Amino acid sequence: MANYWNKEIECMSREDMKKLQDERLVAQVKHVYENVPYYKNLMDKKGVTPDDIKSTDDLHKLPFLTKADLRDAYPYGLLAKPLSDCVRIQSTSGTTGKRVVAFYTQNDIDLWEDCCARAIVAVGGTNEDVCQVCYGYGLFTGGPGLNGGSHKVGCLTLPMSSGNTDRQIQFMRDLGSTIICCTPSYAAYIGETLKEMGLTPDDIKLKAGIFGAEPWTEEMRREIEKLLGLKAYDIYGLTETSGPGVAFECEEQTGMHINEDHFFAEIIDPETGEVLPEGSKGELVFTSLTKEAFPLLRYRTRDICVLSREKCSCGRTLIKMSKPMGRSDDMMIIRGVNVFPSQIETVLIGQGYAPNYLIEVDRVNNVDTFDINVEMSEEQFSDTVKEIQKKESELVEAIKTVLGINPKVHLVQPKSIARSEGKAVRVIDKRKLH
């Protein structure tokens, strides 16, 4: 039986949801136009006024915002409320460049934490649960967002932050944590550490994990489920729209429901900016319908995914987004071929390797080099050199079948690839440094 944090919204009829979104959008566009000169300018340039926006059907008339705009307008240029009404800032992780900051009123914080509460309840969380939050706390939104959601649900909240993995496991055992929230790469690291300590999933009580903030594959999901003996759920969000909880997975584990009463989603062609029909793969664009302090309209996330309104067995009617396969700027073009790290991760885990790998790309004499370092387990490491070479060739073949180009695969010693306590670094593209 599915549980909901806010059944009325999560299971609302399409018609009522559209009406709610339309009303909120009209008010939001007015709020932004009147209070954010930076965006008013963009609208004026496009010849659009708030009167032109009567419903979400008119959204396509509005200009986009990009990360470049946020950097341009840093720090206060997109603020829509006086600073005296703001109570918090958070900042992006800076994965793809200079960090940007987002502002929150108390109401913005409440709504954000509410979205995280929906995610926790969707994985079965109640006030009986012990929720261990090991996303980073501080400027990063992961820790504060899930922490707030966990309080709302009434879980006993362990504000661990990331790192100090032995202590994570000790608290998990001593206090009987039932829910864990962190990045999927950190979850895998905790699982690996547990095993090294000679413990098994039977020694801990985790039943559900809420993992997000970075791309991860279905293969990685199964790996983590096995390592920690729990069900692993995805959660998505970005600082620019609030933080985690923009979308969350339900018991079906087939994509994330978007909290579309707060965030209106569109999929566009990243080249032309044209809005694509439902079911198309493209760049996700969000309009925040309710944020007061930092209400971004048509923000281009650069995340690539697909939206679907297919009926979900959990009873929620909220539109679903597929797992983002990576950002458009995570995509590498190697020897003319598009490559996402997630494609390589799928092959590696499928062939029995742990998700510890590092891709290195460079350009030598005008030719792209493509190296993948893959860590061996202790057992694999005890093989003969000949055996290891054979395994490298097998991996090259398997990756070539998926990508159409040949990497160089290097099987490296156990523990030689740095573990991540936050967002994992999977690629070093040296071409960008030349």
Residues 251 to 310 in contact with ligand ADP, rule: CB under 6 A: 301, 303
- Report the first-to-last Cα separation within the chain, whole angstroms: 56
C-alpha 215/C-alpha 304 separation (Å) is 11
| Interacting positions 213-242 with ligand ADP (CB under 6 A) | 213-215, 234-239
Measured between alpha carbons, how far is residue 346 from residues 196, 304, 356 in Å? 24, 17, 12
Options 121, 250, 296, 321; binder of Zn ion; rule CB under 5 A:
250
Is 220 a binder of Zn ion (CB under 5 A)? no
- DSSP classification of residue 234: E
Among 123, 312, 399, 424, binds Zn ion (CB under 5 A): 312
- Closer to ligand ADP by CB, 125 or 144: give it: 144
Of 103, 106, 93, 160, give the one whose Cα is nearest residue 131.
160
CB of 272 to ligand ADP, least distance (A): 21
Distance CA 346, CA 125 (A): 30
Residue 234 binding result from ligand ADP, Zn ion, none, given CB thresholds of 5 to 8 Å by partner type: ligand ADP
C-alpha 99, offset from chain centre? 17
Contact set for Zn ion, span 110-169 (CB under 5 A): none
Q: What 3-state DSSP class applies to 2?
A: coil
Q: Does 316 bind Zn ion (CB under 5 A)?
A: yes
Rounded Cα gap, residues 202 and 257, in angstroms: 31
Q: Which residues of 232-264 are buried (b: 16+ CB within 10 A; e: fewer)?
A: bbbbbbbbbbbbbbbbbbbbeebbbbbbbbbbb
**Least distance (Å) between residue 11 CB and Zn ion:** 10
Q: Which does 250 bind (CB under 5 to 8 A by kind): ligand ADP, Zn ion, none?
A: Zn ion
User: Would you say 169 or 314 has its CB closer to Zn ion?
Assistant: 314
Decide: is 95 part of the binding site for ligand ADP (CB under 6 A): yes
Q: Which of 235, 314, 339, 354 binds Zn ion (CB under 5 A)?
A: 314
Residues that bind Zn ion (CB under 5 A): 250, 252, 312, 314, 316
Residues that bind ligand ADP (CB under 6 A): 92-96, 212-215, 234-239, 301, 303, 323-324, 327
